[in-house]
Amino acid sequence: MKSIYLVGFMGSGKTSIATYLQSRLEWPVQDTDQMIEEHYQMNIPSIFKEKGEETFREYETNILHMTKQEKTIVATGGGIIEKEMNRKWLQTNGTVVFLQTSWEEIERRLMDDVSRPIWNNKSRDKQRLLEERLPKYLEVADYVIYTDGKSVEEIASEIISKI
Ligand code: S3P
């Protein structure tokens, strides 16, 4: 079976759902953000600060190609769908689940977040970014799961019933 790639905006719950799915499916988890940090020996805020977003996106593409394409749950970074090359790759190689979360819910969940460079960049309009990315998430998605008001368990069960 192909790996499951979880895509969605920052705060859509990709990491926590991946962890929970791991216990239900008994598949290993990979997290592209974590893999970037390990592979390039730098944390994500430092990559953005010292190398810039474009380099981060290059790293992200390289790491996407290193993910296991069978029986693995892969939590991806929210911007993985920015590059057309990545969208094509995901459509070809994975079962892609888009965790769709409303702007209001994302704002609520990330209210105290200080770890995400794009979220914490005051000059970026994050709501607009979500709107711009929406068609890209939909383009790659085999399945769309609405996450507002649902528990991690409910979302995981929905994913399992669909794949
Ligand atoms: C990003 C999302 C982050 C991380 C990086 C950039 C984005 O991952 O990859 O900060 O462009 O949306 P999460 O979606 O796990 O927060």
Q: Which two tokens stand for residue 18?
A: 């991946």
* Residues 81-113: tens digit of each pLDDT: 999 999 999 999 999 999 999 999 999 999 999
Number of domains observed in the structure of the chain: 1
* Residues 7-49: tens digit of each pLDDT: 999 999 999 999 999 999 999 999 999 999 999 999 999 999 9
Which residue's CA is the nearest one to ligand 1's atom 12? Answer: 78
Its pTM stands at 0.98
Q: Which of 73, 75, 79, 74 is nearest to 59 (CA)?
A: 79
Cα of 76 vs its chain's centroid, Å:
3
Q: Which two tokens stand for residue 144?
A: 């769309």
Assign residue 82 the CATH number of its domain.
3.40.50.300
Give residue 45's pLDDT: 97
Domain that holds residue 33: 4-162
SS3 27: coil
- Choice from 5, 6, 10, 73 to test ligand 1 binding pocket (greatest atom count within 8 A of CB): 10
Annotated binding-site ranges for Mg(2+): 15
State the ipTM, two decimals: 0.99
